Amino acid sequence: MKPSIETLYEVLDFTWPSVTTELHHGWQIKNGSGGGKRVSAAIQNSPTAKVEVAEKLMNALGQKKLFMIREGNEILDYKLHKLGYKLIDPSVIFGLPIELLAKTFDGKFHTSPNTAMKSLWLNGDINDMRLNVMARTKVLKTYVTINNIAVAFVAIHNAIAMVHALEVSKINQRQGFGKKIMQQIAGWASLNDAHYLSVITVHNNFPAKSLYEHLKMSEIGSYHYRIKL
């Protein structure tokens, strides 16, 4: 059965966690410690939560004024637009039941990334702070590589596996490594009692979207950010 978008947002929060998440006056305020927008953006829990409260709390953390706009946050989105916040990084969540995915069981899985994997990620703009996000993930997780040509991080929450930071070396792109590593991930996830596989990409990453569509994954939902420049 296809999970709800709210369930997938929860999976995102558990498989790519902030350093801390605190609830204040209808907001989730996240300390991302430099790990990127997903772990730093404020999230509205109550429709009556005031924007200025979140702004002050993000200032106190030394973070940019950044909001994640999830489905159902249309009024907040309009308010932030009127306040001069710019829309950035519209993102799409893809998913498919694992039983419908081709799977292989020959992947190389690690409990922590080796030096070559880290180097490949760093060359793909996945910095040390994002590697720290992976390290602090508490749910079942793994790091997978294909001969240090392709790498990915995957974690499971509530029987849903979510793939993060899938990277293929630039000189080896469009050679089928993305498909192969996704099939290896599906194999690992199925052996660890996951029933559904999900992945996120920005809307304009057409090669990634083409890969997921080729795997018969469908768009389940979306989100974007609003930032004060």
User: How confident is the model over 69-102, as pLDDT tens digits?
Assistant: 999 999 999 999 999 999 999 999 999 999 999 9
Neighbours of 13 (CB within 10 A): 17
Pick the closest to residue 93 from 209, 215, 216, 178 (CA basis). 209
The pLDDT, as a whole number, for residue 175 is: 87
The two structure tokens encoding residue 192: 């660890």
User: How confident is the model over 25-38, as pLDDT tens digits?
Assistant: 999 999 999 999 99
CA distance 67 to 176: 35
Q: Which residue spans within 77-217 are E strands per DSSP?
A: 86-97, 108-110, 141-146, 150-157, 160-168, 196-202
So what's the architecture of 94-221 in CATH? 3-Layer(aba) Sandwich (3.40)
Tell me what the pLDDT averaged over the chain comes to.
Answer: 96
Place of tokens 């599906």: 186
The pLDDT, as a whole number, for residue 154 is: 98
Single-letter residue type at 83:
L
Q: What is the CA radius of gyration of the chain?
A: 18
Q: Which pTM value belongs to this model?
A: 0.95
User: How confident is the model over 101-125, as pLDDT tens digits?
Assistant: 999 998 899 999 999 999 999 998 8
CA distance 152 to 70: 25
The two structure tokens encoding residue 141: 């997780």
What DSSP designation does 42 have?
B
Q: Can you give the residue ranges of every domain in the chain?
A: 5-90, 94-221
Pick the closest to residue 10 from 198, 182, 152 (CA basis). 198
